[in-house]
Amino acid sequence: MIVAVMQKYRRELQCKGLDNLAIGFSIYNCDHLRERMGRRFFETEHVFASTKAFINRREATLRFRGPPGGYLIVPSTFDAGEEAEFLLRVFANGPIQWR
């Protein structure tokens, strides 16, 4: 599976002199969960896969293999408090169910 997270509207902000933010993302296996994930989930669950580093580019991409099941993809910026909007793209060999 290939997961790509792209910063939205960064080209427009670059025209205003703002750079891309350092971004990355983490993937959690959440097949066993059926409710909203709160702070406790992130304190107790281990990251299944993640980008190796936060990069100062418009897009961060990761290729990984995992068993069929539910996954939670969490994009983030390197610095706490920075806000960004993201576009998520997922490529897989088989069908994907979204929730």
For the ranges 14-18, 33-37, 53-57, which has the lowest average pLDDT? 33-37
Greater pLDDT, 97 or 64 = 64
Q: What does the pLDDT look like over 8-20, one tens digit per residue?
A: 887 777 787 778 8
**8 Å CB contact between 4 and 27:** no
Distance from the first to the final alpha carbon of the chain? 17
pTM of the model: 0.83
Give the whole-angstrom CA distance, residue 70 versus residue 13: 34
Instruction: Enumerate domains of the chain plus CATH numbers.
Output: 2-91 (2.60.120.380)
Q: Give yes or no for residue 90 having a pLDDT over 70.
A: yes
Mean pLDDT computed over 44-54 = 91
Model pLDDT, residue 99: 73
